Amino acid sequence: MMLEVENLNVHYGAIHALKGVTFHLQEGEIVALIGANGAGKSTTLNTISRLNKPTAGDIRYRGASIVETPPQDIVTKGIVQVPEGRRIFPKMSVVENLEMGAYIFSDRQRIEADIEMVFGKFPRLRERRKQLGGTLSGGEQQMLAIARGLMARPQLLLLDEPSMGLAPIIVEQIFDIIREINQQGTSILLVEQNAQMALSIADRGYVFETGKIVLEGDAGDLLEDPMVKEAYLGGG
Amino acid sequence: MNKQSLQKSAGSGLVFGIIVIFLALIGFTVVFSGLIQKVLGQSLGVGQIPSISNFFIFLGFLGIWNGWRASRQDKHETLTLAKVLMRAAVAGLSAGVLVMLYGFVVGGLDARGTDMRKYLSMLSSDSIKFFLFNQSLVLGGLIHVGFSTLMALVGGLLAFGSERSQQQVRTNRTKIQKWSQSTWLGKVQGNPYVTYVLMGIVLLLLVLLPRTWGAYWNYVMGTVGIYVLLGLGLNIIVGLSGQLVLGYVAFFAIGAYTFALTTSPEPHNLVWNFWIALAVSVVAAALSGILIGLPILRLRGDYLAIVTLGFGEIIRILLKSDILKDFTMGPRGVRNIAGPTLFGRSFTSDVDFMYLIILAVLLSIFLAKRWQESSIGRAWLAISQDETVAQATGVDTQKYKLLALSLGAAFAGLGGALFASRNQFTGPEDHALMVSINVLVLVIVGGMGSIPGVVLGAFTLKGLPEILRELESYRLLVFGALLVVMMIIRPEGLWPARRPKLEVPVGQDNEPVPLPATAGGEK
Ligand SMILES: Nc1ncnc2c1ncn2[C@@H]1O[C@H](COP(=O)(O)OP(=O)(O)OP(=O)(O)O)[C@@H](O)[C@H]1O
Ligand SMILES: [Mg+2]
């Protein structure tokens, strides 16, 4: 098993944001986490990459617990998060952003090769290589955020709402790339508001509601589920 | 000519008139003219009224500015000569007439023997006569009107010319670039030998100047050098790693006192070797950076600023208090601090000390530059822009923030030790809040994150006030105004850190392509 999250509880002060969340992800899967705003999806990702600390529960990566691992070591283990909201480094150029993504590596040649690799996936970024991150368009920033995540050579990629605020055609492209990344061997945990899109590329999915998982299943089944249809797919 | 634009010109002229009157009321016309006189190298005794020609220079600047402002009303319109001259003339005339009226009022009152100083302490009879160019009421007023109009016209012409040349530059930019690359100038730029020659000249100056310009300037420039050290350190903390630390003086104090207490006969009778004490001071400051850093690592932004502000004050108050009196001599401070020695020879003359400070500055610049350009610098930059994301890319943010604090503190420690050693004394008041503020301001004025900016900022902040000393009590006011003006003209600092600016791809993809067309994996 690649990732097992067991009875995860997270508090922000008095707010009980995650109330015993349990799920897993197999090697090679795309797993979608869907749910309304504030349901705890981002919190889950942040806790896996240790930007948050859980108050109870366990997270195991390939069998070993990582709840006590500091965030920089999580990255070295191959779990990389692309945070919500296109958070690129605004005052670094595209190339510098990518180099930051490879911060844990020091082999110059390999980094150069990886930059070429992600430019292959996002040709748009190659055109903008010297432009400052902050001056990119929203879509370009999201591409850069994902590309930067890839630079750390993730085995498990945590994507937080890659489609947020983007035009439909770009969403399609980004999801194509996510599928491609997955086919090249990276497992993906995908948080999405756009349930339709997420479930269409995912193998399995979990539905969050106020800090709990209320539904889980194969992506195809969830797409057909009346409750999911009602709540997240714009009526049934 | 459209009426609205002329009304606008008249309005902006009146504002300038009011500015001139205001400056006259607070006595600045005299002060500035005096300053110009000094800058031009003529002497001027205290309280003496400067010569009229300098007043003309002062008014000339204001007038030109007035004309310039009035003639450029809309960024998007193309200026014609007639438009510009009309606007400038209207602005100059309205400013001049307003000033003339003011001249009539104060001049008239003065002629009737009213002592205006009862109401405004700067309005002496002399200064009023000065304002009227030592002429009669009417003639003085008319000179104001005429000169103001004339200068505004000059300003308008300048605006017109600069607008034209900018248009030229815009259309010819690529041409000029190509041309300059093919000529001598282009070859000189980017040629490493030119850099070496320039560095050689600077080095030569650094060697020669301390010997020639006398003890006073060695003292002033020594202070500038110490502030360069402080600026380099705070630049690492604030400019690079993005932690707004306001109590920076704490590290300066720790450096100064460590050095003082280990080299002064009183109170501990430790008389360590200069260099050992210096090294210990630097290390002590660096350690204190870590100690102070540990509890505050989680704080960000305003909270960090406020908490660290406290540290600076706590140290000063502790030093001053009776609690530590036996240990640090309390408010009296530590005297007879040792100067530098080398191979048994002590070299404490102002020239020697200047050299020592120059060496320290050069070494520090070298180190700071190396750190900034290494992967450490990258990590700092990432932390300063988005700490969470930096963490998500695998940067050990805690470690690098602590590292920034302790390295920054080390520079302050070095500065403090040199400062104490040079003055042979240090007391609590050397370590007041003002030091922190000054250093922060110099980093901001110079340009956050920029090493040349720090040097320039230190000169501006610690050298310029010495030059402005002539202005006596107005010094800080003028200085503040200068800072404000500077930040308006160069909001990113005098010498901003060189980050790549938006760069439009050149060549065949020059046209911005609509995003969907080429984005994503196709192509
Ligand atoms: N740093 C924080 N401090 C306090 N409360 C927080 C913090 N971060 C999240 N929360 C709260 O925890 C709950 C879950 O938030 P989370 O960001 O995980 O939601 P989400 O499912 O990602 O929502 P969205 O789809 O809107 O991004 C929310 O009620 C939120 O207000
Ligand atoms: Mg979220």
Where in chain A are the domains? Answer: 1-78+156-161+187-236
CA distance B357 to B418: 8
At residue B144, the pLDDT reads 93
The mean per-residue pLDDT over the stretch B148-169 comes to 82
The enclosing H or E element of B38 equals helix B28-39
pLDDT for position B194: 72
For residue B511, is pLDDT > 50? no
Query: Which among A91, A144, A179, A184 is the top mutation candidate for probing chain B, defined by the most B β-carbons within 10 Å of its own β-carbon?
Result: A91
Q: Go through chain B and tell me how many residues it has.
A: 523
Give me the pLDDT at residue B343, please: 74
Atom of ligand 1 nearest to the CA of A46: 18
Q: What is the DSSP letter of B426?
A: B
pLDDT(B512) > 90: no
- Output the CATH code of domain B212-489: 1.10.3470
State if residue A37 touches ligand 1 by the CB under 6 angstroms criterion: yes
Q: Buried (b) or exposed (e) across A84-98, using 16+ Cβ within 10 A? A: bebbbbebbbbbbbb
The token pair that represents B64 in the structure block: 């030109």
Q: What sign for the dihedral angle of Cα B7, B10, B16, B17?
A: negative
Q: Count CB neighbours of B1 within 10 A.
A: 10
Mean pLDDT over each residue of chain A, to the nearest integer:
93
Identify the DSSP state of A64. E
The pLDDT of B395-402, averaged and rounded, is 93
Stated pTM of the model? 0.73
Q: Given this model, what pLDDT does residue B268 score?
A: 77
Instruction: Tell me the per-residue pLDDT of B248-293, one tens digit each, with 9 for 90 and over.
Output: 999 999 999 999 999 988 777 787 888 999 999 999 999 999 998 8
Disruptive mutation site among B389, B399, B450 for chain A (greatest number of A CBs within 10 Å): B389
pLDDT higher than 90, residue B111: no
Chain A, 62 to 91: residues with Cβ < 8 Å from chain B are 70-72, 75-76, 80-81, 83, 87-91
From the CA of B393, how far away is ligand 1's center (Å)? 21
User: Given this model, what pLDDT does residue B178 score?
Assistant: 59
Contacts of residue A139 in chain B, CB cutoff 8 Å?
A: 515, 519
- Contact between chains at B389 and A87 (C-beta distance less than 8 A): yes
Give the residue with greater pLDDT, B402 vs B480.
B402
Please, which residues have CB less than 5 A from ligand 2, an ion? A 42, 84
Cα A98 to its chain centre, rounded Å, is: 17
- The per-residue pLDDT for B298 is 78
Tell me which chain B residue has its CA closest to the CA of residue A143.
Answer: B520
Residue in chain A closest to B382 (alpha carbons) equals A89
Query: How many Å apart are CA B334 and CA B348, to the nearest integer?
Result: 18
Looking at B34-43, B169-178, B352-361, which range is the least confident one?
A: B169-178
Question: What string of DSSP letters covers A3-54?
Answer: EEEEEEEEEETTEEEEEEEEEEE-TT-EEEEEESTTSSHHHHHHHHTTSS--
How far is residue B227's CA from residue B235's CA, in Å, rounded to a whole number? 12
pLDDT at residue A213 in the model: 95
- In the predicted model, is pLDDT for residue B447 greater than 80? yes
Does residue A16 register a pLDDT over 90? yes
Most confident option among A38-47, B77-86, B453-462: A38-47
Measured between beta carbons, which residues in chain A are less than 8 angstroms from residue B396? 70, 72
Give contacts of B521 with chain A, Cβ < 8 Å: 121-123, 173, 176-177, 180
All CATH 1.10.3470 domain ranges of chain B, comma separated, are 212-489
Question: The tokens 């986490």 sit on which residue?
Answer: A33
Phi-psi region of B360 (alpha: psi -120 to 50; beta: other; left: phi over 0): alpha
Q: Which of B53, B76, B59, B69 is nearest to B155 (CA)?
A: B69
Is residue B67 within 8 A of residue B152, CB to CB? The reply is yes
Residue B211's pLDDT is what? Answer: 84
* Helices within chain A (DSSP H only): 41-48, 71-77, 94-101, 108-121, 123-127, 138-150, 168-183, 195-201, 219-224, 226-232
Mean pLDDT of A47-64: 94
Q: Mean of the per-residue pLDDT values for chain B?
A: 83
pLDDT category of residue A236 using cuts at 50, 70 and 90 = very low
pLDDT at residue B510, as a whole number:
37
Region A95-110: mean pLDDT is 93
Mean pLDDT to the nearest integer, B382-397: 92
Contact (CB, 8 A) for A95 and B462:
no
Closest residue to B499, CB basis, from A75, A91, A140 = A91
A134 CB contacts (<8 Å, ≥6 apart)? A88, A90, A91
Q: What is the mean pLDDT of residues B336-341?
A: 80
The rounded distance, in Å, linking the Cα atoms of A198 and A162 is 10
A17 C-beta closer than 6 A to ligand 1 = yes
Instruction: Judge if the upstream peptide bond of residue B267 is cis by omega within 30 degrees of 0.
Output: yes
Instruction: Measure the CA–CA gap between A140 and A136, rounded to whole angstroms.
Output: 6
Residue whose Cα lies nearest atom 30 of ligand 1: it is: A38
> Does B356 score more than 90 pLDDT?
yes
- Our answer on whether the CB atom of A53 is closer than 6 Å to any ligand 1 atom is no
- pLDDT of res. B394: 92
Give the least confident one: A68-77, B79-88, B264-273, B352-361: B264-273
* CATH superfamily entry for domain A1-78+156-161+187-236: P-loop containing nucleotide triphosphate hydrolases (3.40.50.300)
Task: Give the closest residue to B152 by CA, choosing from B82, B96, B73.
Answer: B96
Which residues does chain A have within 8 Å of residue B520's beta carbon, measured at their own beta carbons? 122, 124, 143, 170, 172-174, 176-177
SS3 state of residue A157: strand
CB B249 within 8 A of CB B231: no
pLDDT exceeds 80 at position B43? no
Instruction: Indicate the helix (H) or strand (E) that contains A206.
Output: strand A204-209
- The answer to whether A131 faces chain B, any CB pair under 8 Å, is yes
For residue B423, count other CB atoms closer than 10 A to its CB: 17
Q: Residue B498: what pLDDT? A: 63
**pLDDT at residue B76 tops 50:** yes
> Among the listed ranges A220-229, B36-45, B298-307, which one has the minimum average pLDDT value?
B36-45
Report the distance separating Cα B491 and Cα B317, nearest Å: 35
Mark out the alpha helices in B424-474 (DSSP H runs): 433-446, 451-458, 464-467
* Placement of tokens 């205006």 in the chain: B116
What residue in A sits closest to B390 (Cα-Cα)? A100
Cross-chain residue pair A75–B393, CB shorter than 8 Å:
yes
CA distance B382 to chain A (A): 7
Looking at the predicted structure, is the pLDDT value of residue B1 above 60? Answer: no
Q: Is pLDDT above 70 for B4?
A: yes
Cβ(A21)–Cβ(A214) below 8 Å: no
Contacts of B79 (CB under 8 A, 6+ apart): B71, B72, B159, B160, B163
Ligand 1 within 6 A of CB of A165: no
Q: What is the pLDDT of residues B170-193, one digit of tens each?
A: 665 556 555 555 555 555 555 667
